[in-house]
Protein backbone atom coordinates (compact mmCIF):
# COMPACT_ATOMS: atom_id res chain seq x y z
CA UNK A 1 0.00 0.00 0.00
CA UNK A 2 1.42 3.36 -0.96
CA UNK A 3 1.70 6.22 1.51
CA UNK A 4 -0.84 9.07 1.17
CA UNK A 5 0.56 12.46 0.21
CA UNK A 6 -2.06 15.18 -0.12
CA UNK A 7 0.50 17.47 -1.73
CA UNK A 8 0.13 15.35 -4.87
CA UNK A 9 -3.56 16.24 -5.22
CA UNK A 10 -2.77 19.86 -4.33
CA UNK A 11 -0.30 19.93 -7.23
CA UNK A 12 -3.03 18.72 -9.57
CA UNK A 13 -5.48 21.34 -8.30
CA UNK A 14 -2.82 23.99 -8.96
CA UNK A 15 -2.54 22.62 -12.53
CA UNK A 16 0.96 21.36 -11.83
CA UNK A 17 2.51 17.95 -12.53
CA UNK A 18 2.44 15.70 -9.45
CA UNK A 19 5.36 13.43 -8.60
CA UNK A 20 3.36 10.27 -9.27
CA UNK A 21 0.04 8.98 -10.55
CA UNK A 22 -2.66 10.79 -8.59
CA UNK A 23 -6.21 9.50 -8.23
CA UNK A 24 -9.52 11.26 -7.75
CA UNK A 25 -12.97 9.83 -7.03
CA UNK A 26 -16.14 11.31 -5.56
CA UNK A 27 -17.23 8.09 -3.86
CA UNK A 28 -16.98 4.31 -4.17
CA UNK A 29 -19.66 1.82 -3.05
CA UNK A 30 -20.45 -0.31 -0.02
CA UNK A 31 -18.84 -3.47 -1.40
CA UNK A 32 -15.58 -1.68 -2.16
CA UNK A 33 -15.62 0.09 1.19
CA UNK A 34 -15.83 -3.29 2.92
CA UNK A 35 -13.30 -4.94 0.62
CA UNK A 36 -10.75 -2.16 1.04
CA UNK A 37 -11.67 -0.84 4.48
CA UNK A 38 -12.46 -4.10 6.23
CA UNK A 39 -15.78 -5.52 7.44
CA UNK A 40 -17.59 -3.61 10.13
CA UNK A 41 -20.34 -4.79 12.47
CA UNK A 42 -22.35 -3.06 13.75
CA UNK A 43 -22.36 -0.26 11.20
CA UNK A 44 -22.94 3.23 12.59
CA UNK A 45 -22.26 6.76 11.45
CA UNK A 46 -18.72 7.41 12.65
CA UNK A 47 -17.54 3.83 12.07
CA UNK A 48 -18.94 3.89 8.55
CA UNK A 49 -16.95 7.04 7.82
CA UNK A 50 -13.81 5.48 9.31
CA UNK A 51 -14.31 2.55 6.96
CA UNK A 52 -14.52 4.98 4.01
CA UNK A 53 -11.30 6.60 5.18
CA UNK A 54 -9.53 3.23 5.35
CA UNK A 55 -10.86 2.25 1.93
CA UNK A 56 -9.65 5.42 0.22
CA UNK A 57 -6.28 5.05 1.88
CA UNK A 58 -6.01 1.36 0.92
CA UNK A 59 -6.90 2.08 -2.70
CA UNK A 60 -4.12 4.66 -3.04
CA UNK A 61 -5.95 7.96 -2.68
CA UNK A 62 -4.33 10.87 -0.87
CA UNK A 63 -7.61 11.92 0.76
CA UNK A 64 -11.04 10.61 1.70
CA UNK A 65 -14.34 12.30 0.87
CA UNK A 66 -16.76 12.99 3.69
CA UNK A 67 -19.79 15.09 4.57
CA UNK A 68 -18.80 17.59 7.23
CA UNK A 69 -22.13 17.46 9.08
CA UNK A 70 -25.62 16.00 8.76
CA UNK A 71 -27.00 19.17 7.13
CA UNK A 72 -30.18 18.48 5.17
CA UNK A 73 -32.96 20.66 3.80
CA UNK A 74 -36.33 19.38 5.02
CA UNK A 75 -38.65 18.12 2.27
CA UNK A 76 -42.05 16.52 2.09
CA UNK A 77 -41.99 12.68 2.08
CA UNK A 78 -40.46 11.22 -1.08
CA UNK A 79 -41.10 7.78 -2.54
CA UNK A 80 -37.68 6.62 -3.73
CA UNK A 81 -36.92 3.22 -5.20
CA UNK A 82 -34.23 2.84 -7.85
CA UNK A 83 -35.06 6.37 -8.95
CA UNK A 84 -37.54 9.11 -8.12
CA UNK A 85 -39.28 12.06 -9.73
CA UNK A 86 -37.69 15.50 -9.43
CA UNK A 87 -41.20 16.78 -8.70
CA UNK A 88 -41.60 14.81 -5.46
CA UNK A 89 -41.00 16.25 -2.03
CA UNK A 90 -41.69 19.92 -2.80
CA UNK A 91 -41.92 21.88 0.45
CA UNK A 92 -42.00 25.39 -1.05
CA UNK A 93 -44.56 25.96 -3.79
CA UNK A 94 -45.64 29.57 -3.18
CA UNK A 95 -44.92 32.61 -1.04
CA UNK A 96 -46.95 31.29 1.90
CA UNK A 97 -45.06 27.98 2.06
CA UNK A 98 -41.78 29.89 1.74
CA UNK A 99 -42.66 32.04 4.75
CA UNK A 100 -43.62 28.93 6.73
CA UNK A 101 -40.54 26.93 5.80
CA UNK A 102 -38.08 26.21 8.64
CA UNK A 103 -34.53 26.59 7.37
CA UNK A 104 -31.71 24.63 9.03
CA UNK A 105 -30.22 26.41 12.03
CA UNK A 106 -26.62 26.71 10.93
CA UNK A 107 -25.49 27.66 14.43
CA UNK A 108 -26.66 24.25 15.63
CA UNK A 109 -24.87 22.15 13.00
CA UNK A 110 -22.49 19.55 14.43
CA UNK A 111 -19.13 19.21 12.67
CA UNK A 112 -17.71 16.77 15.23
CA UNK A 113 -17.12 14.08 12.59
CA UNK A 114 -14.25 16.19 11.24
CA UNK A 115 -12.54 15.94 14.64
CA UNK A 116 -13.17 12.18 14.79
CA UNK A 117 -11.79 11.46 11.32
CA UNK A 118 -9.04 14.03 11.61
CA UNK A 119 -7.65 12.11 14.59
CA UNK A 120 -7.57 8.92 12.49
CA UNK A 121 -5.92 10.35 9.39
CA UNK A 122 -2.57 8.86 8.40
CA UNK A 123 0.25 11.42 8.15
CA UNK A 124 -0.03 13.61 5.03
CA UNK A 125 -3.60 12.46 4.26
CA UNK A 126 -6.49 14.96 4.31
CA UNK A 127 -10.26 15.04 4.19
CA UNK A 128 -12.06 16.46 1.17
CA UNK A 129 -15.50 17.67 2.22
CA UNK A 130 -18.51 17.50 -0.08
CA UNK A 131 -21.84 19.16 0.48
CA UNK A 132 -25.38 17.86 1.04
CA UNK A 133 -26.07 18.50 -2.64
CA UNK A 134 -25.57 21.93 -4.15
CA UNK A 135 -27.53 25.12 -4.71
CA UNK A 136 -29.52 24.02 -7.76
CA UNK A 137 -30.07 20.47 -6.52
CA UNK A 138 -31.53 21.68 -3.25
CA UNK A 139 -33.66 24.36 -4.89
CA UNK A 140 -35.12 21.62 -7.12
CA UNK A 141 -35.67 19.37 -4.10
CA UNK A 142 -37.43 22.14 -2.19
CA UNK A 143 -39.61 23.40 -5.05
CA UNK A 144 -39.93 20.46 -7.45
CA UNK A 145 -38.48 20.77 -10.94
CA UNK A 146 -41.75 21.56 -12.75
CA UNK A 147 -42.76 24.09 -10.09
CA UNK A 148 -39.35 25.73 -10.35
CA UNK A 149 -39.64 26.07 -14.13
CA UNK A 150 -43.10 27.66 -13.82
CA UNK A 151 -41.93 29.96 -11.04
CA UNK A 152 -39.08 31.28 -13.19
CA UNK A 153 -41.84 32.96 -15.24
CA UNK A 154 -44.69 33.40 -12.76
CA UNK A 155 -42.80 34.22 -9.54
CA UNK A 156 -39.08 34.83 -10.12
CA UNK A 157 -38.80 36.58 -6.76
CA UNK A 158 -39.71 33.31 -5.05
CA UNK A 159 -36.96 31.47 -6.93
CA UNK A 160 -34.53 34.18 -5.88
CA UNK A 161 -35.52 33.84 -2.22
CA UNK A 162 -35.32 30.05 -2.18
CA UNK A 163 -31.92 30.08 -3.89
CA UNK A 164 -30.69 32.68 -1.40
CA UNK A 165 -31.88 30.55 1.53
CA UNK A 166 -30.08 27.50 0.22
CA UNK A 167 -26.98 29.49 -0.72
CA UNK A 168 -26.73 31.08 2.73
CA UNK A 169 -26.85 27.69 4.46
CA UNK A 170 -24.30 26.11 2.12
CA UNK A 171 -21.87 29.02 2.40
CA UNK A 172 -22.03 28.72 6.19
CA UNK A 173 -21.50 24.95 5.97
CA UNK A 174 -18.42 25.32 3.78
CA UNK A 175 -17.09 28.14 5.96
CA UNK A 176 -17.09 25.86 9.00
CA UNK A 177 -15.61 22.90 7.10
CA UNK A 178 -12.88 24.94 5.42
CA UNK A 179 -11.66 26.16 8.80
CA UNK A 180 -10.91 22.64 10.05
CA UNK A 181 -7.20 21.68 9.89
CA UNK A 182 -7.97 18.11 8.76
CA UNK A 183 -9.75 19.42 5.64
CA UNK A 184 -7.50 19.82 2.63
CA UNK A 185 -10.06 20.74 -0.03
CA UNK A 186 -13.79 21.06 -0.65
CA UNK A 187 -16.21 19.73 -3.25
CA UNK A 188 -19.24 21.70 -4.35
CA UNK A 189 -21.44 18.90 -5.71
CA UNK A 190 -24.32 20.31 -7.72
CA UNK A 191 -25.60 18.61 -10.89
CA UNK A 192 -26.54 21.25 -13.45
CA UNK A 193 -27.24 19.53 -16.73
CA UNK A 194 -28.86 16.95 -18.93
CA UNK A 195 -27.06 15.22 -21.78
CA UNK A 196 -27.64 18.12 -24.18
CA UNK A 197 -28.01 21.27 -22.06
CA UNK A 198 -28.19 22.79 -18.60
CA UNK A 199 -31.29 22.12 -16.48
CA UNK A 200 -32.08 25.84 -16.45
CA UNK A 201 -31.25 28.33 -19.17
CA UNK A 202 -27.74 29.78 -18.74
CA UNK A 203 -29.26 33.23 -18.14
CA UNK A 204 -31.30 31.82 -15.25
CA UNK A 205 -28.29 29.93 -13.89
CA UNK A 206 -26.36 33.20 -13.88
CA UNK A 207 -29.13 35.11 -12.12
CA UNK A 208 -30.26 32.62 -9.48
CA UNK A 209 -27.59 29.95 -8.98
CA UNK A 210 -24.12 31.16 -9.84
CA UNK A 211 -23.92 34.11 -7.37
CA UNK A 212 -24.18 31.60 -4.51
CA UNK A 213 -21.51 29.39 -6.05
CA UNK A 214 -19.25 32.43 -6.26
CA UNK A 215 -19.76 32.98 -2.53
CA UNK A 216 -18.95 29.31 -1.82
CA UNK A 217 -15.74 29.55 -3.87
CA UNK A 218 -14.73 32.75 -2.09
CA UNK A 219 -15.46 31.10 1.27
CA UNK A 220 -13.09 28.23 0.45
CA UNK A 221 -10.35 30.45 -0.92
CA UNK A 222 -10.54 32.76 2.09
CA UNK A 223 -9.33 29.76 4.12
CA UNK A 224 -6.65 28.93 1.50
CA UNK A 225 -8.50 25.73 0.55
CA UNK A 226 -9.01 24.69 -3.09
CA UNK A 227 -12.53 23.82 -4.19
CA UNK A 228 -13.72 21.37 -6.83
CA UNK A 229 -16.97 21.56 -8.76
CA UNK A 230 -18.63 18.18 -9.28
CA UNK A 231 -21.45 18.70 -11.76
CA UNK A 232 -22.97 16.26 -14.22
CA UNK A 233 -24.45 17.04 -17.61
CA UNK A 234 -23.60 19.14 -20.64
CA UNK A 235 -22.03 22.29 -19.21
CA UNK A 236 -20.47 23.62 -22.40
CA UNK A 237 -22.58 26.79 -22.36
CA UNK A 238 -21.43 27.66 -18.83
CA UNK A 239 -17.79 26.49 -18.77
CA UNK A 240 -16.53 30.05 -18.98
CA UNK A 241 -18.74 30.90 -15.98
CA UNK A 242 -17.25 27.98 -14.01
CA UNK A 243 -13.74 29.22 -14.69
CA UNK A 244 -14.68 32.84 -13.92
CA UNK A 245 -16.18 31.79 -10.55
CA UNK A 246 -12.72 30.61 -9.56
CA UNK A 247 -13.27 26.87 -9.21
CA UNK A 248 -9.91 25.11 -9.04
CA UNK A 249 -11.11 21.94 -10.78
CA UNK A 250 -14.11 20.35 -12.40
CA UNK A 251 -15.19 16.73 -12.08
CA UNK A 252 -17.81 14.60 -13.91
CA UNK A 253 -17.52 13.81 -17.61
CA UNK A 254 -19.32 11.51 -20.01
CA UNK A 255 -18.05 10.35 -23.38
CA UNK A 256 -21.50 10.82 -24.94
CA UNK A 257 -21.28 14.54 -24.05
CA UNK A 258 -17.57 15.38 -24.41
CA UNK A 259 -14.68 12.95 -23.81
CA UNK A 260 -12.43 14.15 -21.02
CA UNK A 261 -9.37 14.53 -23.27
CA UNK A 262 -11.29 17.07 -25.39
CA UNK A 263 -12.26 19.01 -22.27
CA UNK A 264 -8.62 18.99 -21.15
CA UNK A 265 -7.37 20.34 -24.48
CA UNK A 266 -9.90 23.18 -24.42
CA UNK A 267 -9.83 24.18 -20.75
CA UNK A 268 -6.99 22.37 -18.98
CA UNK A 269 -4.72 25.40 -19.01
CA UNK A 270 -7.26 27.32 -16.89
CA UNK A 271 -8.92 24.72 -14.65
CA UNK A 272 -7.82 21.30 -13.41
CA UNK A 273 -9.61 18.30 -14.91
CA UNK A 274 -10.42 15.30 -12.70
CA UNK A 275 -11.40 11.77 -13.68
CA UNK A 276 -13.23 11.18 -16.93
CA UNK A 277 -13.11 7.42 -17.54
CA UNK A 278 -16.71 6.93 -18.60
CA UNK A 279 -18.78 4.88 -16.15
CA UNK A 280 -20.49 3.02 -18.99
CA UNK A 281 -17.04 2.10 -20.33
CA UNK A 282 -16.03 0.87 -16.87
CA UNK A 283 -19.10 -1.39 -16.86
CA UNK A 284 -18.70 -2.82 -20.37
CA UNK A 285 -14.96 -2.89 -21.11
CA UNK A 286 -12.51 -5.61 -20.13
CA UNK A 287 -9.97 -5.05 -17.38
CA UNK A 288 -7.26 -4.84 -20.03
CA UNK A 289 -9.16 -2.15 -21.94
CA UNK A 290 -9.77 -0.17 -18.76
CA UNK A 291 -6.09 -0.32 -17.81
CA UNK A 292 -5.07 0.73 -21.32
CA UNK A 293 -7.44 3.71 -21.19
CA UNK A 294 -6.04 4.69 -17.80
CA UNK A 295 -2.46 4.51 -19.06
CA UNK A 296 -3.31 6.59 -22.10
CA UNK A 297 -5.00 9.31 -20.04
CA UNK A 298 -2.15 9.49 -17.56
CA UNK A 299 0.49 9.61 -20.30
CA UNK A 300 -1.32 12.23 -22.36
CA UNK A 301 -2.97 14.34 -19.65
CA UNK A 302 -1.50 13.49 -16.25
CA UNK A 303 2.09 14.05 -17.25
CA UNK A 304 1.19 17.51 -18.53
CA UNK A 305 -0.25 18.61 -15.19
CA UNK A 306 -3.64 19.51 -13.79
CA UNK A 307 -5.14 16.05 -14.20
CA UNK A 308 -6.03 13.26 -11.74
CA UNK A 309 -7.05 9.78 -12.84
CA UNK A 310 -10.50 8.44 -12.05
CA UNK A 311 -13.99 7.68 -13.26
CA UNK A 312 -16.24 10.10 -15.06
CA UNK A 313 -18.55 10.30 -12.07
CA UNK A 314 -18.20 7.77 -9.22
CA UNK A 315 -18.04 4.01 -8.63
CA UNK A 316 -21.63 2.77 -8.11
CA UNK A 317 -22.30 -0.82 -7.14
CA UNK A 318 -22.91 -1.98 -10.73
CA UNK A 319 -19.33 -1.19 -11.80
CA UNK A 320 -17.40 -4.50 -11.76
CA UNK A 321 -14.76 -4.38 -9.00
CA UNK A 322 -12.10 -5.66 -11.41
CA UNK A 323 -12.73 -2.62 -13.63
CA UNK A 324 -12.20 -0.28 -10.70
CA UNK A 325 -8.99 -2.05 -9.70
CA UNK A 326 -7.76 -2.03 -13.30
CA UNK A 327 -8.35 1.74 -13.42
CA UNK A 328 -6.34 2.47 -10.27
CA UNK A 329 -3.63 -0.15 -10.87
CA UNK A 330 -1.28 2.52 -12.22
CA UNK A 331 -1.21 3.94 -8.71
CA UNK A 332 -1.46 0.63 -6.85
CA UNK A 333 -0.03 -2.20 -9.03
CA UNK A 334 -0.68 -4.81 -6.32
CA UNK A 335 -4.43 -4.26 -6.85
CA UNK A 336 -4.25 -5.12 -10.56
CA UNK A 337 -6.80 -7.85 -11.41
CA UNK A 338 -5.26 -11.22 -12.05
CA UNK A 339 -6.05 -12.98 -15.36
CA UNK A 340 -8.58 -15.76 -14.97
pLDDT in tens, 134-176: 999 999 999 999 999 999 999 999 999 999 999 999 999 999 9
Average pLDDT over residues 210-219: 98
Q: Do residues 74 and 91 touch, judged by C-beta distance below 8 A?
A: yes
Tens digit of pLDDT for each residue in 49-60? 999 999 999 999
Q: Quick one: pLDDT at residue 74?
A: 86
Rounded Cα distance, 248 and 14, in Å: 7
- 3-class state of residue 20 by DSSP: coil
pLDDT score recorded for residue 84: 63
Tell me: domain 6-72+97-335, CATH 3.20.20.150, correct?
no
**In sequence order, what are the beta bridge partners of 198?**
193
- pTM: predicted TM-score of the whole model, two decimal places: 0.95
Tell me what pLDDT residue 340 has.
61
Task: Tell me the per-residue pLDDT of 88-99, one tens digit each, with 9 for 90 and over.
Answer: 779 999 999 999
List the chain domain ranges.
6-72+97-335
Instruction: Give the model's pLDDT for residue 77.
Output: 72
19-32 burial: b if 16+ Cβ within 10 Å, else e: eebbbbbbbbbeeb
Amino acid sequence: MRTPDFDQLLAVLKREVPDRVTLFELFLNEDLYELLGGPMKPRNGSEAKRQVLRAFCGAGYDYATVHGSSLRFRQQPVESKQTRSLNQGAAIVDDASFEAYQWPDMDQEDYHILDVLGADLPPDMKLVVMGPGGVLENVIDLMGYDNLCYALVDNPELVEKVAAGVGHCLASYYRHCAAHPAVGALISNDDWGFKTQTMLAPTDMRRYIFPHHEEIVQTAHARKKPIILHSCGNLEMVMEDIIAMGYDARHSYEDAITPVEEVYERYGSRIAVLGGIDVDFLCRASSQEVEARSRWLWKNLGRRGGYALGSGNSIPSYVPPESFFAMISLANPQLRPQPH
